[in-house]
Chains A and B, each alone.
Chain A
Amino acid sequence: DGGITQSPKYLFRKEGQNVTLSCEQNLNHDAMYWYRQDPGQGLRLIYYSQIVNDFQKGDIAEGYSVSREKKESFPLTVTSAQKNPTAFYLCASSRDRGLSLRTEAFFGQGTRLTVV
């Protein structure tokens, strides 16, 4: 089955530590995205990538880093510089590079990160 896999589902981090969230897709999609969701809030874009070895900052990139070494993988690192990292993180992908308005994004099941 094609889809997006995020792991782990739950992640606990001590203050001052970096953690990496995994996102893998087997849909052969060019574009991949990371969103953050806080309680009672919509999704906010952290980073996106339209092609391998290239990525762009979204609206709330500070304290996060990404890489796109393979088409199917787009890991997100939450660094110690992120002041309030506790949130629900969603990875998404879409078929093209956003050139079509119609293109829908497919989402993974999310990772819930908690700082302890």
Chain B
Amino acid sequence: AQKITQTQPGMFVQEKEAVTLDCTYDTSDPSYGLFWYKQPSSGEMIFLIYQGSYDQQNATEGRYSLNFQKARKSANLVISASQLGDSAMYFCAMRELMYSGGGADGLTFGKGTHLIIQP
């Protein structure tokens, strides 16, 4: 089973509108962290926002916020007032505490959502 599911392969959004990118995750570890990364056409991965499983409040970073619904295991990224420069691939990723301690140490990524902002 996939650990990170992003159900929107692509999205078109009008400039200045808000956009929500969906992410659901699967883990039995009570301690985990969720990340969102942006990948522009240049290829590098840019960290956007982080949410810890025990964080009481939804994370916010400028125009980015995370709608964290722990019981539903969802961590949707919300971009307010979208801009043309927001056009990119967006990846949701997870790090699990148990997974980090004994096995592979990296992040588990979803397949991404290709967001295109239209003028």
The size class of the interface chain A forms with chain B is 20 to 34
- Contacting pair A48 B105 (CB below 8 A): yes
Bound-complex Cα distance A51 to B44 (A): 24
Is A25 located at the chain interface by the 8 A CB criterion? no
Summed over the interface, the residue pairs from A and B with CB atoms below 8 Å come to a total of: 80
Nearest Cβ distance between residue A11 and chain B, in whole angstroms?
13
**Stretch touching chain A among B14-22, B30-38, B73-81:** B30-38
Please tell me if B68 contacts chain A, counting CB pairs below 8 Å. no
Q: Contacts of A101 on B, CB cut-off 8 Å?
A: 31-33, 52-53, 95, 97, 100
Q: Are B106 and A35 in contact (CB under 8 A)?
A: yes
Q: What residue of chain B has the Cβ atom nearest to residue A33's Cβ?
A: B106
B71 at the interface (CB under 8 A from A): no
Taking the complex as formed, is A108 at the interface, i.e. its CB lies under 8 A from any CB of chain B? yes
Residues of B within 8 A of A (CB): 4, 9, 31-33, 35, 37, 42-47, 50, 52-53, 91, 93, 95, 97, 100-101, 104-112
- Please list 12 pairs of residues, one from A and one from B, whose beta carbons are closer than 8 Å in the complex, sorted by A's number: A33-B105, A40-B112, A41-B111, A42-B111, A44-B109, A45-B106, A48-B105, A50-B105, A101-B31, A108-B44, A109-B44, A110-B44
Q: A58-B106, A101-B53, A112-B43 given; name 8 further pairs at CB < 8 Å.
A: A35-B106, A42-B112, A43-B109, A45-B106, A45-B108, A92-B45, A105-B47, A105-B106
